[in-house]
Amino acid sequence: MTSDTLFTKIIKHDIHADILFQDERVTAFRDINPQAPTHILIIPNKEIPTVNDISDEDESVLGYLFVVAKKLAGQENIDKDGYRLLVNCGKHAGQEVFHLHMHLFGGKPLGRMVQLEDSF
């Protein structure tokens, strides 16, 4: 019996993903349902469900997500034109997988940051 998240199974290579980078702290792989020409997920190997669950000891690995994102953006040749880094947290953000992850989107103009609503 295992309680591994879907993404932990990817980290452990128990299920397949197109992994672009992996070391002892972070794994990055292509999103299965890309929303842009480049859509990569960058995740801490440690299971942290949401941003609400981070602790002081996670500060270093969370900063490292940005370092890996920057390197991957260069590898994907989207660094010059720009890209978007996004972390969803919880229901209102539409988080689907409860293993904290940073999205890296790029390869086309990405539009507005937040969908326009009638009012808020």
Catalytic residues: 101
Tokens of 63: 């900063």
State the minimum distance, in angstroms, from the CB of residue 14 to ligand 5GP.
11
| Closest alpha carbon to 70 in 58, 83, 61, 88 | 83
State the minimum distance, in angstroms, from the CB of residue 23 to ligand 5GP.
18
- Encode 35-61: b = buried (16+ Cβ within 10 Å), e = exposed: ebebbbbbbbbebbeeeeebeeeeeeb
Which x/- pattern, by CB under 6 A, does the window 38-77 give for ligand 5GP? Answer: ---x------------------------------------
Q: Compute the distance between CA of residue 41 and CA of residue 29 in angstroms, rounded to an integer.
A: 5
The reply on whether position 17 binds ligand 5GP by CB under 6 A is yes
The reply on whether position 5 binds ligand 5GP by CB under 6 A is no
The reply on whether position 19 binds ligand 5GP by CB under 6 A is no
φ, ψ of residue 83 to 5 degrees: the values are -160, 175
- Binding positions for ligand 5GP, rule: CB under 6 A: 6, 17, 29, 31-33, 41, 88, 94-97
